[in-house]
């Protein structure tokens, strides 16, 4: 795997290709050029840059940057399995040291506050790498950790990692019985009540929790306790009243009952869980295309006797190496996930909006690759929709078990923008994707990311689940992308689309914005919803659209850009739409304003001017800020390609107009409508 100049990873890059319509040079623009000319110049440069970043296979993929817990846990896994080597350790430590802040802490996003659990895990990783505890950088970290309450105040997942080496007591962790795997889908707290990312993690952790393994610790961690003589202080239970208290007492009862479970019964449950894990291993050896489930699955199977040379284990370990990004300085960063399908469909849309010919060879190559990524077999989603034919797309290279609704909507939008040499194949793929998305509509008319009606109130109450979202309720951004896709397919007046539109209108915040579940935050939600509503026929003069425009204008920064800090997830009143200007967030605001008919407004002109002024000569933008969301506040993402695709989309729409404005129904939409199995899917959506 090689690193490109923008930090993206992939195969050798093709030579520079220029859009067929690009006959102007940068020097054609006079010094006193107007905003349209400035925008056109920036658009051409961004087009060339993005084209040059496509892989030979047709996909785009930027680095997916999260935080150092990925790197620390990778080293801890290797230590646990006895396979940690000096080269990997040295490279990981180089990256982790480079992410430490002046106060000795590690944050979970650029410019964010120090995070206790991330700091503890980074500290332990550097101790594994040989850094002494009295080294200035570790001494600052350990002092801060003690000030925050020490290991005892960290989240459950951090204490699980420490328990693997005896640095924390297993009996002081929440109980997670493997018999959970036997709960039928109608029983509360069955594994399908959890979001797919949590489900993939919890199932292997039930085995780890049951086995309670301890490997010899290579060193003590007394310096990370507020009282080394009492490292495991008792936790105070919640009050007797309320769900939180009830689940705390349930956990206490499970601890008492642990010894009473017959060993044969527990072993049978663990074997069932192991089969569930192995059945969901992808062809490339990973689990769900994301790193955390792979790590815990490998540990769980190893505890059940699978040696490291077993084909399942060997493939799993090899898959972890593909999450590594090696940098020029020798540092090694671990991606939590990889986003080629998402990046490719967004890049295709951006290039089409920028005016690249619909039959451009690189767009056709992208479509060829995306068509090969469509998932045509059932996955976990079919537990709730057993009669719905497959047809979605996932986020990653390999993830047939968990296609997602968001990627599927955006891939369909991308496919429809390209003149492919086999239009029938494209139409058939789009028909399957539209049918699958319609069948995944939740009963309230909206869409979640991976599952239908994944809204149980109980999983988030478990003492074990103290970090991140563990359910997948419908969100405004995903619903908006589906509505926009359906409108592009000529289904704007379909009853299911209208239900989605009504849900979006009802979800608007009092200030005119929309909450962004999968991007930061109200700027992302609003930048997704407004284009969807106008594509679906909502007038730019509609009160909801005017409120959104007013809000966007009110939060524009003095420099002309837009930005929003992740703190808005915790403090919406103080941080909604507030933060340093970024390329991606400025683009989201522009996309909303342009869709609302504000092309001639001064707010749009200032936003376009900011994008042009901050663009590098090679057509790229810098963006150290995290504008992607894994779990609101708890887990943030810097998608390195966001800084390229969204500004290009916004500039393209400013220069060339809205892609759906005044356009006839998409070619093939009638076929897509017929293929959706409308009555069957609607009945399933209402009755399942």
pLDDT digits (tens, 9 = 90+) for 315-366: 999 999 999 999 999 999 999 999 999 999 999 999 999 999 999 999 999 9
Rounded Cα distance between 167 and 230, Å, is 12
Residue count of the chain, please give it: 688
Asked if 363 and 412 sit in the same domain, the reply is: yes
pLDDT digits (tens, 9 = 90+) for 409-426: 999 999 999 999 999 999
Which residues 6+ apart lie within 8 Å of 362 measured at CB?
A: 14, 17, 51, 54, 58, 351, 356
Which residues 6+ apart lie within 8 Å of 360 measured at CB?
A: 19, 20, 351
Rounded Cα distance between 295 and 203, Å, is 12
Rounded Cα distance between 604 and 598, Å, is 7
Asked if 378 and 527 sit in the same domain, the reply is: yes
Spatial contact of 527 and 513, defined as CB atoms under 8 Å apart: no
For residue 255, is pLDDT > 80?
no
Q: Does a structural domain hold residue 559?
A: yes
Q: Is 406 a catalytic residue?
A: yes
Which of 334, 360, 391 finishes a domain? Answer: 334
Of the listed ranges 26-35, 38-47, 157-166, 584-593, the one predicted with least confidence: 26-35
Q: Does a structural domain hold residue 467?
A: no
Spatial contact of 445 and 503, defined as CB atoms under 8 Å apart: yes
For residue 10, is pLDDT > 50?
no
Q: Does a structural domain hold residue 426?
A: yes
Domain count, the chain: 2
pLDDT digits (tens, 9 = 90+) for 291-310: 989 999 999 999 999 999 99
Structure tokens at 290: 């994301």
Q: What is the pLDDT of residue 280?
A: 96
Asked if 345 and 292 sit in the same domain, the reply is: no
Find the mean pLDDT for residues 215-233: 92
Mean of the per-residue pLDDT values for the chain?
90
What is the dihedral sign for C-alpha 627, 648, 392, 57?
negative
DSSP letter at 283 equals T
Q: Does a structural domain hold residue 44?
A: yes
Asked if 175 and 239 sit in the same domain, the reply is: yes
Spatial contact of 583 and 610, defined as CB atoms under 8 Å apart: no
Asked if 597 and 635 sit in the same domain, the reply is: yes
CA distances from residue 560 to 514, 554, 563, 590, 596 in whole angstroms, order as listed: 21, 11, 10, 11, 18
Find the mean pLDDT for residues 533-543: 97
Cα 335-465-477 angle, rounded to 5 deg? 60
- The residue from 74, 115, 193, 406 that is catalytic is 406
Nearest to 316 by CA among 298, 304, 303: 298
For residue 33, is pLDDT > 80?
no
Find the mean pLDDT for residues 147-157: 96
Q: Does a structural domain hold residue 21?
A: no
Calculate the CA 307 to chain-centre distance. 32
Cα 192-405-464 angle, rounded to 5 deg? 35
Q: What is the pLDDT of residue 551?
A: 98
Asked if 433 and 415 sit in the same domain, the reply is: yes
Q: Does a structural domain hold residue 45?
A: yes
Which of 290, 311, 334 finishes a domain? Answer: 334
Rounded Cα distance between 384 and 681, Å, is 13
**In CATH, what number is assigned to the domain containing residue 108?**
1.50.10.20
For residue 681, is pLDDT > 70?
no
Asked if 49 and 124 sit in the same domain, the reply is: no
Nearest to 440 by CA among 399, 414, 472: 472
Structure tokens at 35: 């905003």
pLDDT > 70: percent of the chain? 89
Nearest to 283 by CA among 319, 307, 321: 319
What is the dihedral sign for C-alpha 50, 51, 53, 59?
positive
Asked if 113 and 229 sit in the same domain, the reply is: yes
Q: Does a structural domain hold residue 470?
A: no
For residue 580, is pLDDT > 60?
yes
pLDDT digits (tens, 9 = 90+) for 451-461: 999 999 899 88
Asked if 408 and 554 sit in the same domain, the reply is: yes
Q: What is the pLDDT of residue 429?
A: 98
Asked if 558 and 412 sit in the same domain, the reply is: yes
Q: What is the pLDDT of residue 658?
A: 86
Rounded Cα distance between 234 and 352, Å, is 59
Please spell the DSSP secondary structure of 547-567, one letter per residue: HHHHHHHHT--TTS-----GG
Asked if 196 and 128 sit in the same domain, the reply is: yes
Q: What is the pLDDT of residue 436?
A: 98
For residue 629, is pLDDT > 80?
yes
Q: What is the pLDDT of residue 423?
A: 97
Spatial contact of 636 and 108, defined as CB atoms under 8 Å apart: yes
Find the mean pLDDT for residues 511-540: 97
Residue 659 — pLDDT band, cuts 50, 70, 90? Answer: confident
Nearest to 300 by CA among 341, 326, 270: 270
Nearest to 415 by CA among 403, 433, 397, 401: 433
Q: Is 72 helix (H, G, I), strand (E, B) or coil?
A: helix
What is the dihedral sign for C-alpha 401, 402, 405, 408?
negative
For residue 19, is pLDDT > 50?
no
Which of 300, 317, 334 finishes a domain? Answer: 334
Spatial contact of 507 and 514, defined as CB atoms under 8 Å apart: yes
Residue 660 — pLDDT band, cuts 50, 70, 90? Answer: confident
DSSP letter at 661 equals T
Spatial contact of 7 and 62, defined as CB atoms under 8 Å apart: yes
Q: What is the pLDDT of residue 396?
A: 95
Q: Does a structural domain hold residue 22?
A: no
Q: Which domain holds residue 597?
A: 2-16+31-64+337-455+476-687
Asked if 518 and 559 sit in the same domain, the reply is: yes
- Give the number of other CB atoms < 10 A from CB of residue 543: 11
CA distances from residue 424 to 97, 507, 575 in whole angstroms, order as listed: 53, 38, 48
């Amino acid at each position: 795997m090689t690193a490109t100049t923008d930090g993206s990873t992939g195969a050798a890059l093709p030579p520079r290709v220029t859009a067929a319509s690009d006959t102007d040079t940068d020097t054609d623009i006079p010094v006193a050029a107007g905003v349209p000319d400035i925008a056109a110049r920036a658009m051409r440069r961004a087009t060339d840059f993005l084209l040059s970043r496509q892989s030979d296979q047709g996909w785009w993929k930027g680095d997916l940057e999260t935080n150092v817990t990925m790197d620390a846990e990778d080293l801890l896994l290797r230590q646990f399995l006895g396979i940690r080597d000096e080269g990997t350790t040295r490279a990981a430590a180089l990256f982790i040291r480079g992410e430490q802040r002046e106060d000795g802490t590690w944050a979970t996003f650029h410019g964010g506050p120090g995070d206790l659990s991330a700091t503890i895990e980074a500290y332990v990783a550097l101790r594994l790498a040989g850094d002494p505890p009295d080294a200035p950088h570790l001494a600052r970290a350990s002092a801060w950790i003690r000030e925050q309450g020490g290991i005892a105040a960290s989240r459950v997942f951090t204490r699980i990692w420490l328990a693997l080496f005896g640095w924390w007591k297993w009996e002081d962790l929440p109980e997670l019985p493997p018999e959970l795997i036997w709960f039928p889908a109608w029983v509360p707290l069955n594994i399908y009540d959890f979001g797919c990312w949590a489900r993939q993690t919890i199932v292997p952790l039930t085995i780890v929790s049951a086995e309670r393994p301890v490997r010899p610790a290579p060193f003590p961690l007394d310096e990370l306790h507020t009282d080394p003589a009492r490292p495991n202080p008792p936790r105070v239970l919640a009050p007797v009243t309320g769900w939180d208290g009830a689940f705390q007492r349930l956990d206490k009862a499970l601890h008492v009952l642990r010894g009473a479970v017959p060993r044969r019964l527990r072993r049978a449950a663990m074997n069932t869980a192991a089969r569930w894990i192995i059945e969901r291993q992808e062809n490339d050896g990973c689990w769900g295309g994301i790193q955390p489930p792979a790590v815990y699955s490998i540990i769980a199977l190893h505890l059940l006797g699978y040696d490291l040379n077993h084909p399942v284990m060997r493939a799993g370990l090899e898959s972890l190496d593909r999450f590594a990004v090696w940098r020029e300085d020798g540092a090694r960063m671990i991606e939590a996930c990889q986003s080629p399908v998402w990046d490719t469909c967004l890049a295709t849309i951006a290039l089409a909006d920028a005016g690249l010919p619909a039959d451009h060879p690189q767009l056709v190559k992208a479509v060829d690759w995306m068509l090969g990524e469509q998932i045509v077999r059932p996955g976990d989603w079919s537990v709730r929709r057993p009669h719905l034919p497959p047809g979605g797309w996932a986020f990653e290279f390999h993830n047939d078990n968990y296609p997602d609704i968001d990627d599927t909507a955006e891939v369909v939008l991308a496919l429809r923008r390209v003149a492919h040499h086999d239009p029938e194949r494209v139409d058939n793929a789009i028909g399957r994707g539209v049918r699958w998305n319609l069948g995944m509509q939740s009963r309230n008319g909206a869409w979640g990311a991976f599952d239908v009606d994944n809204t149980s109130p109980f999983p988030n109450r478990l003492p074990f689940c103290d970090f991140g979202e563990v359910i997948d309720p419908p969100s405004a951004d995903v619903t908006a992308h589906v509505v926009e896709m359906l409108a592009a397919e000529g289904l704007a007046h379909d009853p299911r689309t209208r239900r989605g539109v009504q849900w979006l209108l009802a979800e608007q915040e009092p200030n005119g914005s929309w909450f962004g579940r999968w991007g930061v935050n109200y700027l992302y939600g609003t930048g997704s919803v407004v284009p969807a509503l106008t594509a679906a026929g909502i007038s730019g003069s509609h009160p909801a659209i005017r409120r959104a425009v007013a809000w966007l204008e009110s939060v524009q920064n003095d420099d002309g850009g837009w930005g929003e800090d992740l703190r808005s997830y915790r403090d919406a009143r103080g941080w909604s739409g507030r933060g340093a200007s970024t390329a991606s967030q400025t683009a989201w605001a522009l996309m909303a304003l342009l869709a609302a008919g504000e092309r001639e407004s001064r707010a749009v002109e200032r936003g376009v001017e900011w994008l042009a002024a901050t663009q590098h000569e090679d057509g790229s933008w810098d963006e150290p800020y995290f504008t992607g969301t894994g779990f609101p506040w708890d887990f943030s993402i810097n998608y390195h390609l966001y800084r390229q695709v969204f500004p290009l989309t916004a500039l393209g729409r400013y220069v060339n107009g809205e892609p759906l404005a005044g356009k006839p129904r998409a070619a093939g939409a009638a076929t897509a409508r017929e293929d959706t199995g409308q009555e069957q899917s609607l009945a399933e959506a209402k009755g399942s």
